[in-house]
Structure formats: C-alpha cells, structure tokens
Amino acid sequence: MPFQITVDCEVNGERIIRTLPATMLLSEFLRQELGLTGTKLGCNKGSCGACTVLLDGKPVNSCLIFMPQVHKHTVVTIEGLGKEGELTDLQKAFIEEGAVQCGFCTPGMVIVSEFLLRKNPCPTEEEIRDGIAGNLCRCTGYTKIIRAIQKAAKCRAEH
Amino acid sequence: MKELDIVGKSIDRPDARAKVSGRALYCDDLPSVSGLLYAGIIKSPVPAGRIKGIHIEDALSVDGVVDIVLAHHIPGKNLVPLIFDDWIVLADKEVRYAGEPIGVVVAEHPRALDIALNKVKVDIEPLPALLSPFDAMKPDARKINPRGNIFNHHKIRRGDVESGFAEADIVVEGEYQTGYQEHAYLEPLSLMAKPTPDQGMQVWGGMQCPFYVQSAVATVLGIALNKVEVIQTTTGGAFGGKEDVPSRFAGIVALAAWRSGRAVRLTFSREEDIVSTSKRHPSFSRYRIGARRDGRLVACTAEVIMDAGAYATLSPSVSWRATVHCCGPYRIPNVRVDVYAVATNKVPAGAFRGFGTPQVIFAMERVMDELANQLKMDPLELRRRNILRRGDTTVTGQRLPWSVGLGRTLQECAKKSNWKKRRKAAEQSTGTKKRGIGCATFLYGVGLGAAGRKIDRAEASVQVEGDGSVRFSVGTTEMGQGMESVLTQIVAEALGGISPGLVTMTEVSTSRVQDSGPTVASRATYMSGNALRIACSQILNRMRAVAGERLHIPASRVVVTGGRFKAGTEEIDFREIACECFERHVPLSARALYDSPPTSWDAETGQGKAYVVYSYATHIAEVEVDTETGIVSVLRFWAAHDVGKAVNPQLVEGQIEGGVVQGIGYALMESLLTANDGHILNPDFETYIIPTSKDIPEIYPIIVESPYPEGPFGAKGFGETPLMGCGAAIANAVSNAIGRPITRLPILPEDILALFKICSAPNR
Amino acid sequence: MHHSIRDIDYYKPTSIDEALQITHQFCTDPQQKDVKFLAGGTDLIPNIKDGNVRPGVIVEITDIGELRGITQENDQILIKAGTPFDEIVDSPILQKTAPVLVNACGQIGGVQIRNRATIGGNLVNASPSGDSIPPLFVLKSRLHIASLSDGKRVDKIVPIEEFFIGAGKTILRGGELLTAVSFPVPDPQSKGFFMKLGQRRAMTISKVSIALLAKISDSQIDWIRIALGAVAPTVIRARNTESFLSGKNVDDSDTIQQAMEIIKSEVSPIDDIRSYAWYRREMCAVLLKRGLLSVKSG
C-alpha cells in the first residue's frame, strides 16, 4: 500500500470515506479536512490532552493517531457531543461552576470528563483527579473543573 | 454606598458557551483564507555569533517554497518598539541567543517548511556566549547588547541603613535564587497577517496588547498606524507571555505577507514556543534585615540580579517593579535596595504574572522567617507587627490613605487555617513525614505605576442601542482571566443595574475599539472599568433626563436601580427609555478616557508615589515533606486577597485557584534547563513539568474587600497576586517542616535530600 | 504544528501472518527499508514527529484481533502484545493474579495514553523507565516472538530478562513480531508491590521504579524477586539483594538496612534532565524498604 490510503470512518454520527495520506493524523484530519477546530493542539505529543476525542467511546489523543488507525472506527469530537446546538449537562456545569477560563483545554477536558462519567457515574474526587490527569489546564487550577464534574454527576444521578 | 444589582454577583461568563462547545475560534482555528501561506522561522543555532552569510538558494528551490525573508527585506525599521527600542525583528549582523529569529521561510504548504528550514545554511562565526549574569556583569565582559550588559540599576535609598542596623538587636542575612518559569499557556503562539488592498495590513492572533502589535507592524512595514488593523482572536492563556512577544512575531508574519501579497500564518509548535518566547527572570538575591527584639523592623538591604536575556524588552519595567516590591509590605525606616537587570546570551525574559515580584517576595519572606526563628517569634506575629496599615508609609515613601486590607487578609487567613494549631502540630510531627506550615504577606502595585506613567490611561466607549441592548468597546483583552465578564458587569451596573445579558463586548480590533493601554499589571478591571463607568454615567444622565420628563420629576430625583427608572411607585424599564431616547434623537453613545491618578518616582532615591493603589494578600501553605524521598506535598493552601471589591466572586476564586496552582508549579516542579551550549534542554510538556490535577492541594480562597474609592465600585486589580506568594509560603512551610532553610526555587526532591545528605546536588 | 512525515509506506494487515509476510518482504529487500510496527502509537508517533525515528515502512497492527486479549489457562496467564493498558487495568484475571502489574499499568500516562498504549509497545520500546516492565520481570514473564522462516511462521519464547540488550534495544531482529507475554500465576501466598517516583504525581516518566514479589511466611522471606526501573540501561533484577534477603527475617531492621546498602551497589544510574544518579541510587534503597514493609504487612 503506498502513501495514500482510503479511510472509512464515522465522525460525529456521519459516515466519511476519504482517500488520505496514510500518515495524516486524526487531529489534522479533524481540523484541516473537516474544519472541526474544537479539537485543539497544545503540544502535539500526547502530553497535554487538549486534542482529546472519543474513539469508539474512549478518550484518545487525536495527535497520536494516524488516519488508517481510524478505519472502521467511530470518532466523537466536542462538536458532536451534545444534541444539535444544545449543551450537555456537563458542559452547562462547566459554565456554571466557572470551570472555563481561557478555554483552550476545555474541549478536551469536557470530552475526558464525559467518558469518566459514562464509565463511573458517581466518581469520588480522587477518581475525578485520576480521570482528568491526562489533561493539562494552566488557568483554573483544576478545582472548579472538579466541581463541575461533581455537579454533572449529581445531576445525572438525579435524573 | 448604594446597593449593587450586578457587581458582586457570580454571573456566567459570556465567553464560556462558545468555549465549552468548541466553537470559540483561536487564531489557528480561523478558516483558511484563499492563498494562505505558512511561515517557519529560521533560528540561530548558537547563542552568540556574527552572521557571515545566509545561504538560501537550496531552500528556495524546495517545492512549495514561495519566499525567504531576511532582515534586509524589511521596508521599515528592524525594530520592535518597546521601552529601550533595542529589540530587533530579524537578526542581521549578530545573533544573541540560540533560537533567535534570523529569517522566515514562506511556503504553500506546511510540510515544505521543515524541508526548507533544514536547507537554509547560516554561516555564523561563534562568539563566546555569556550565559550567566555574573559573567556578563564583569567589567571586561564582551558587550552582548550595544547598550551594555547592565540594562538597569534601580535603587531605593531611604533613611540610613548603617545606623538602622546599629539600632537592631538581631540581624539576619540570606542569599536566594530562583529559576526560569515558562508560561505554558495551553495555546501556543499563533499569528496571521493579510495585506489589504489599500497598502495596509490586517493581523489576527492570540495576544494581550493589540495596540503594541499594531505599532510593531507599522514600524516594520514603514506604514502609518491607521493602515494596520490588529484583531485579537480568542486567546488561550497568556500570563504575560503574550504581552510583548506577539509584537515581534507579528512583525515577521506581516513582513512575509507584505512581500508575497498573500495571507501568511505562523503557529508555533510547543517546542518552538518554549525556545522562542519570554519567561520569568531567574534571580539571585542577597538580603540583610535587622529588627529590634520586639520584632520591629529597623533596616533592610537587598541586592537583586535578574537574568534578562539578550534584549532589554520589558526588563527595565520588570526590574523596577521588583525594586518597589523588594522589601515586602512592611514599615521599614531604613532601606537600601539595588536591583540589576543584566544581559545574557539567552532568550529575553519578560512579563510573567507577578512581573518580577515572586522572586523578591520569595527572598524577603524567607529572610523574614529566618528573622522570626532568631527572635523565637511566631512568623505570622512578626508580620502582624510590621505590616502596612492605613495611613502608613511604604519603603518608597508613599503614604497609603485607603484600601489597605492587608491586616484583614492576615487575620482571616490565620483564622481560617487555624494557623496556631497547625503550626504547633507541625512542630510535633515525627518520623519520615514531616509537616510544616508557612506564610507570606505581600502587596502588589496595581497598574503600570510611575514607570509606565506615559501609557497608563484607558479609553472606552459604550453604545446603547434603540432596543436597550448595549455594546461596549475597550482595547484591553480577554485572555481567560474573565475581563469580559467583569467589564460586562461594570457596564450593566453603571447603566442602572440592567441585566448583564443585555450587554455585549465588541471584538477587540484596533480599528474598532479604543486604546485602553496594555492588558497587563492587573489593570483591566480598574482602568477600563473606570473609563466605561464614566461613559455609562454620561449616557445614563441623558436617559435619566428623559425618564424624569416621563415621570414628571426632575432628573436628579429619578432613582435608577434594577434596570428601571423609578419615581415613587412608578417605574419605567431601561429598554423603554432607550427606545424613547432613540426616537427623540438623544445621543446614546459615549466615549471616555480614564487617566491614571498621578504617580512619581525619584530614580536616585527610589522615593515617590510608585503606584496609585496596592492589592494585598496573605498566603498560608501546609506541606508534608517525605524526608526519605524529598518529595513535598502541599496539603492545604489558604489565600486571602484584598481585591477592593470582588466584581464577580466566582472569577476571583478562579483567579486564586489558578494562580496558586501556577505558584505551586513555580515552587516545586517547574525547572527550565539551559545547556552549556545555550540551548534549552527541556522545551516540551513531557520534560517541562507543570502541575496536573493530581498535584494540587485543597485550596481555600478568601476574599477580603477593602474598597478603593477611585476604582469601579471599589475594585482594584488583583489577577497576578494569587501566584506571587506561593513560592515564599511553600518555601517557608518546607523550611518549617525540615528545620533547614530553603534558599532556592524550585524546591525539587533532590534539593531536599541534598540538604540532608552529605552528597550535594550539582548546580542546576 | 506541522511535521513532514508524509513519505512513509503504510500497511494495515488484518492478521499476524499477513503482518509477518509484509515485514519479511521488506527485511529481505536489498534496499532494506526500516520497518516499524505501529500498535498504540503513543511512543512511535511522537518519535517520528521529532525525527528520532525515520521508518520507511509502517506496518499497523492496531486492529489485529488476534493480538489482543488476556486469558488464563491453568496456571498460565497470557497477555497478547496489542492489549492496551486500560484493558490490563480493568482485567479481573489480572486484578486477581497480578495486582503488581495492574498497579504499575494504572500509573502509566493519563487515561488517553492507557487507552492506546499497549503492553507489547512498552516492551519493544525497551525504555529503562517503562513502567510495565519491572512487574513483568518479577512475574517471570516470557515473551512470545513470531517470525517467518522459509515462508512458514515460527514462534519462539524467551525469558524477559534475555529480551533487553540496552536502552531502547531488544533482541528482536527485522521481521520478528512480539505477539504476547505470558507468566505463571504467582503463588497465592505471595505479595507484590510497585512504586515509582516521577517529577509529579501523574503523566510522568519514572525517575526510578521498583517492583517486588515475595512470599513471606511468619516474617521469614521464602523467596523474593526485585526489579528496578530507570537505574540502568535496561530494567534489572536486583539479584544480590534477592539472595541476601532470601531466608531472612523481614522484621529485622538490620537486615533491611543491609539490603538497602546492597541494592545501591547493584545499580548504575545516570544523571539526566529528570534527576541525578545519586538520587536514583538512594531511592532504590528507600523504595526497597517501602516495598518490604508493604509486602510483610500481608
């Protein structure tokens, strides 16, 4: 197989078939090919988590994945998280608890927190800290992010 | 004071919705414009040398390469206007630090950049690099910078230190060191420039000071300011790192766009960002302090050397602020301070949250704790006896007539932390896990102060629309800190307590907003806020007159509250009056300038009214030191801040928590290493270590409000302060835990063990 | 942030045999293109971006089903090489039989890394600080390696201690693929311990790490295995310390003190940007003490 490769995948519920350079990164594909710029690049090496997306429901660093690795897989980005134009309870909690400052880590942080709550609906504070440890934030000191996740967990438990 | 409707409430941030949904557009997210080119910087491979030749032929022939731009292509001046005007855009004759920009490769696609950059051959005759300020200060040292190697020597001469020390019962001395700190904002620097049809230039980017960028681009291109429009895109953190640096790189990108006639974008990788942009100055301090037996301070001397890097950039200002803050928030009659900013062959150090103060606060507060030890006095008590209170005079001879909430921050922090009990418990901790608790008290001069007097003013405008919605414009910027919320609340309040949902901030573009001065020095709330308040009151007075007619009472008797104009039981909604004003051709927009109150400074004595007002804080850290591994855990952190008035308490807490965590990084882990060849050894997030969610303690923000009468609704700036005392408080807590003085930041586990063991750590 | 990594041949086989055939073909090619297997990619891709690794061919094995899974047959545990760490951490089999491995793998990277990074990748990278390796040492792991010979698949099994030959170097030759790691279920009476010291508490590369597996009856050490990370060019066993401790009383503080001295003499750490040799050496002793205290407390 030469440099180009055909990738058949699903992004935010939509099936996409494209022939691409084989070493195109998922982050490049999302940002440049699909214009999904909610996925941010903070380090491009898997050290900051800003580019986190869900791959088959699990958070991954999209800067560390070549497009052929996405073939026959499902990707959800920050743009695909809520229903059309609506915020999730988690996103709302981020706003209400003051968990957003510069916002650059926020999409990745929201994605990883969404996974955390799906896997563990009632996380302890320690489990939340573990769950978001792969996402650097330089503004908030994490405290309000933790509170937002706790609030969303409580909200989901009540519904 | 009248009860406030909006100010003092934690409303949701207006920018949060776009940010949580991924719709906020940072510069690298801007949709590709047609013909967009990509830029890559040609960097100096050595820290010092003479440029003999730059060979670009091979690189120019790389497929996709459009242009390679060098210094001699600059149509205007090869200069970034700042304090000394010594900062060049592209090195031409000499390189002064590893990574210094020499040129820029411009290509159709990004992948051509790496290939072409590898093919540019820069012929440099290396010069011996001066990497230490001590070497650079030697009289026979080679001049790194044409101005000489000592950029600045700021002084304070107050009283007579010799007789002060003679009066002292106890004198303590200490030497202290701090390292670099990298901003590590999550969004790397990104800038885009596009020529306009009228021989002008548009520039987009994440930045703090669009008007600085405007001036730099106009200078480099040799065109008028009104031909340059700078648009601030959503900015992913800055902390000082996007104060002066974007000016230089915008100059480069604009130059590339100018020559090609096409749009050009430059987005740094994390590695490029760390090697190319400013950092917190490393520092070396020597302190001597004398007190009477009752703890009363009688004399203090301080000598501080700050490692400024190859160009002065902001160092004159940073070292001046360090000078003013050198002796802490104390009453000391006899003071001698000497602060030097010294050139080295390293990337220019610059602005970083605190702006030269975390270094001197660390040193001063450490020496205060050593003094408390000698006096056998509780360190918080020692501070309580010396801190500035209302009516006192600072070491620069400035009397403080109001808004001195330091005593209350100390009191609240001591109470909430249960200081005495924890201090006692720490003394009794045994085994290999030693507890310790430490404090720091400090102040921060809000705004640019006497050194920045020339540019310390803010302009702003407000426009009420015919439907009662409101748009305001300022030239200060939102970079994550929450300014947009704060100013929205100030406008909503100043227009009579209308709903903040009615108020929108105009996107910051130099063509559409007024110059409010730079977004630095914790000045946006109070400077832009004041300008807006003035503009709002002009509009409100006109609306009040119309409302008075409707309510059949004199305008002066119309009460405006809760977004309604009231007379007795009768009331009219703000929107209705707006509509009526519109129909009656009453002007509903206003523009105002707020000029900072006077400040003064005598360069020889260091005496004067340095800043218009100060913010105050007390930090208390509780730590546990594992004496076998040297690992320090911060268990709890109390941070009490006098902010004048918390316009949005949730944002204040957010600033405190975020600043404290940055401060913990500074204190315990962030260590940027320079190799002997002048290169930075760890320019990425795998090796430059900042705190994660697992590294943070319980943080207890404590808000103290000692209103500043000149500030909008009593507010004064404070955004930088939460970081400033952390190094000091943590170092004092660690010293308390292990019974040995900490003299260097960051405090790495290896350093702690080295204090216990015979083997000593090599110098970092 | 752009990287010129376009000119690489890319293959995505669907079985081990197909992967071996592709690789074999390039290894016998006179042009000898450098072939790299790509599993999770969490180490390989940053290394390609940085230019530290410049493969001519990538053979992606991420989605090969037969390279993934954890099984137990009698007293043998088998972890397929392409199993990511999150599956190891969540595996009931491993939680029961090899908590020392689960503990170590749970401390690797953040959740994003653990969802992608594989145990095989950690082994093949052969970093002395690879956190899954010390536990695999004390579990007496064996590595399963497949290759083609005369067009036929050949499998061989080597003890983990023979696998590493230096920092970043293994015995794997071109065309060989690590397919699994296996180890016998440890004595149910034994107890394990893992601890790492990094520059912070998460997302951190070990400055020094220790894994320890021991059986202690009535304070007497029946047997003990100790492996250390980041204090030598490869992960190493502390054999002198093990033999010294064997048969000794774990409650005897002199014994522990002596063991701490012995372990320091068994390591050859270096200074680097993360720490100093002297610190790493000292920490081997401290971590050993903590490990012994932990395993003796049952």
User: Of chain B residues 606-645, which have a CB less than 8 A from chain A?
Assistant: none
| Strand-strand pairing, B614-626 and B433-445 | antiparallel
**pLDDT at position A159:** 80
**pLDDT at position C298:** 62
What is the arithmetic mean of pLDDT over B643-667? 98
**pLDDT at position B750:** 97
> Confidence class of residue B266 from pLDDT cuts 50, 70 and 90?
very high
Three-class DSSP labels, B295-363:
CCEEEEEEEEEEECCCCCCCHHHHHHHHHHHCCCCECCCEEEEEEEEECCCCCCCCCCCCCCHHHHHHH
User: Of chain B residues 153-192, which have a CB less than 8 A from chain C?
Assistant: 188
**pLDDT at position B762:** 44
What is the arithmetic mean of pLDDT over B513-534? 96
Integer Cα distance of B40 and B44 in angstroms: 13
Contact B38 C2 (CB under 8 A): yes
Contact B762 C276 (CB under 8 A): yes
- Is pLDDT above 60 for B760? no
Chain B: residue whose CA lies nearest to C109: B686
What is residue B410's three-state secondary structure?
Answer: helix
Q: Is the distance from CB of B246 to CB of B205 less than 8 angstroms?
A: yes
Three-class DSSP labels, A14-79:
EEEEEEEECCCEHHHHHHHHCCCCCCCCCCCCCCCCCCEEEECCEEEEHHHCEHHHHCCCEEECHH
CA–chain centroid gap for C259, Å, is: 25
Integer Cα distance of C178 and B655 in angstroms: 50
Residue ranges of domains in chain C: 9-60, 69-184, 191-296
Nearest to B38 by CA among B108, B115, B104, B120: B108
**pLDDT at position B761:** 43
Contacts of B10 in chain A (CB under 8 A): 98
Residue of A19, A60, A146 best to disrupt the C interface, most CBs of C under 10 A: A60
Integer Cα distance of B146 and B79 in angstroms: 14
> Confidence class of residue B709 from pLDDT cuts 50, 70 and 90?
very high
Contact C286 B628 (CB under 8 A): yes
The answer, for B72 touching chain A at a CB cutoff of 8 Å, is no
Chains touching A, CB cut-off 8 Å, 3+ pairs: B, C
What are the structure tokens assigned to B757, written together?
Answer: 């063991």
The answer, for A159 touching chain C at a CB cutoff of 8 Å, is no
Nearest to B325 by CA among B244, B398, B403, B239: B398
Q: What share of chain C is helix, strand, coil (3-state, %, to 5)?
A: 35, 25, 40
Chain B: residue whose CA lies nearest to C204: B686
What is residue C18's three-state secondary structure?
Answer: helix
> What is the sign of the dihedral through the CA atoms of B217, B222, B225 and B228?
negative
What are the structure tokens assigned to B84, written together?
Answer: 């000394």
What is the arithmetic mean of pLDDT over C94-117? 98
Taking the C-alpha atoms of A53, A54, A56 and A62 in order, what is their torsion angle to the nearest 10 degrees?
20
What are the structure tokens assigned to B324, written together?
Answer: 């003013």
* C218 Ramachandran zone, left/alpha/beta (phi>0; psi -120 to 50): left
> Confidence class of residue C191 from pLDDT cuts 50, 70 and 90?
very high
Residue of B629, B674, B751 best to disrupt the C interface, most CBs of C under 10 A: B629
Contacts of B65 in chain C (CB under 8 A): none
Integer Cα distance of C72 and B37 in angstroms: 57
Tell me which DSSP letter residue B149 carries: S
**pLDDT at position C27:** 80
Residues of chain A under the 50 pLDDT cut: 1
Integer Cα distance of A136 and B695 in angstroms: 11
Contact A38 B21 (CB under 8 A): yes
Q: In the predicted model, what is the mean pLDDT of chain C?
A: 95
Contacts of B686 in chain C (CB under 8 A): 205
The answer, for A34 touching chain B at a CB cutoff of 8 Å, is no
Contacts of C201 in chain A (CB under 8 A): 133
Least confident of B242-246, B563-567, B569-573, B755-759: B755-759
**Fold for domain C9-60?**
3.30.43
Contacts of C202 in chain A (CB under 8 A): 130, 133-134
Alpha-carbon distance B111 to nearest alpha carbon in chain A (angstroms): 12
**pLDDT at position C6:** 62
Q: Does domain C191-296 have CATH number 3.40.640.10?
A: no
Q: Is the distance from CB of C225 to CB of C212 less than 8 angstroms?
A: yes
Contacts of C12 in chain A (CB under 8 A): 1, 5, 68, 71
Whether a cis peptide bond, with omega within 30° of 0, leads into B518 is: no
For C32-85, write each residue's pLDDT tens digit. Answer: 778 999 999 999 999 999 889 999 999 999 999 999 999 999 999 999 999 999
What is residue C229's three-state secondary structure?
Answer: strand
For C230-253, write each residue's pLDDT tens digit. Answer: 999 999 999 999 999 999 999 999
> Confidence class of residue B218 from pLDDT cuts 50, 70 and 90?
very high
Q: Closest to C273 (Cβ–Cβ): which among B113, B629, B687?
A: B687
Q: Give the class (CATH, top level) of C69-184.
A: alpha beta
Spatial strand order in the sheet of C9-11: C9-11, C57-60, C35-38
Q: Is the distance from CB of B623 to CB of B412 less than 8 angstroms?
A: no
The answer, for A31 touching chain B at a CB cutoff of 8 Å, is yes
Q: In this predicted model, which residue has the larger pLDDT, C145 or B431?
A: C145
Chain B: residue whose CA lies nearest to A137: B186
Strand spans (E) along B116-199: 121-126, 150-158, 170-178, 190-196
What are the structure tokens assigned to B491, written together?
Answer: 């406008």
For B721-752, write each residue's pLDDT tens digit. Answer: 999 999 999 999 999 999 999 999 999 999 99
The answer, for B755 touching chain A at a CB cutoff of 8 Å, is no
Chains touching C, CB cut-off 8 Å, 3+ pairs: A, B
CB atoms within 10 A of CB C36: 18
Identify the bridge partners of residue B138 per DSSP, sorted by sequence position. Answer: none
What are the structure tokens assigned to C101, written together?
Answer: 């491995």
The answer, for A142 touching chain C at a CB cutoff of 8 Å, is no
CA–chain centroid gap for B534, Å, is: 26
- Is pLDDT above 70 for B1? no
**pLDDT at position B24:** 98
Alpha-carbon distance B551 to nearest alpha carbon in chain A (angstroms): 39
CB atoms within 10 A of CB B691: 26
What is the arithmetic mean of pLDDT over B95-99? 98
**pLDDT at position B3:** 87
For B14-49, write each residue's pLDDT tens digit. Answer: 999 999 999 999 999 999 888 999 999 999 999 999
Three-class DSSP labels, B613-657:
CEEEEEEEEEEEEECCCCCEEEEEEEEEEECCCCCCHHHHHHHHH
What does the DSSP assignment read for B13-45? Answer: PTTHHHHHTT---BGGGSPPPTT-EEEEEEE-S
**Side-chain half-sphere CA neighbours of B677 within 13 A:** 7
Contact C202 B669 (CB under 8 A): no
Contact A100 B690 (CB under 8 A): no
Domains and CATH numbers, chain B: 38-127+189-267 (3.90.1170.50), 283-449+601-756 (3.30.365.10), 457-595 (3.30.365.10)
Contact C46 A72 (CB under 8 A): no
> Confidence class of residue C258 from pLDDT cuts 50, 70 and 90?
very high
Burial code (b: 16+ CB inside 10 Å, e: under 16) for B471-482 equals bbbbbbbbbbbb
Alpha-carbon distance A61 to nearest alpha carbon in chain C (angstroms): 6
Integer Cα distance of B178 and B743 in angstroms: 9
For C147-179, write each residue's pLDDT tens digit. Answer: 999 889 999 999 999 999 999 999 999 899 999
Contacts of B752 in chain C (CB under 8 A): none
What is the arithmetic mean of pLDDT over B662-670? 98
What is residue B562's three-state secondary structure?
Answer: coil
Percent of chain C scoring above 70 in pLDDT: 97
What is residue C251's three-state secondary structure?
Answer: coil
Q: In the predicted model, what is the mean pLDDT of chain B?
A: 96
Contact A3 C6 (CB under 8 A): yes
Phi, psi of B265 (to 5 degrees): -120, 140
Alpha-carbon distance A113 to nearest alpha carbon in chain B (angstroms): 12
CA–chain centroid gap for B186, Å, is: 16
Percent of chain B scoring above 70 in pLDDT: 99
> What is the sign of the dihedral through the CA atoms of B742, B743, B744 and B745?
positive
**pLDDT at position A95:** 98
Nearest to A114 by CA among A140, A141, A77: A77
Domains and CATH numbers, chain A: 4-80 (3.10.20.30), 89-158 (1.10.150.120)
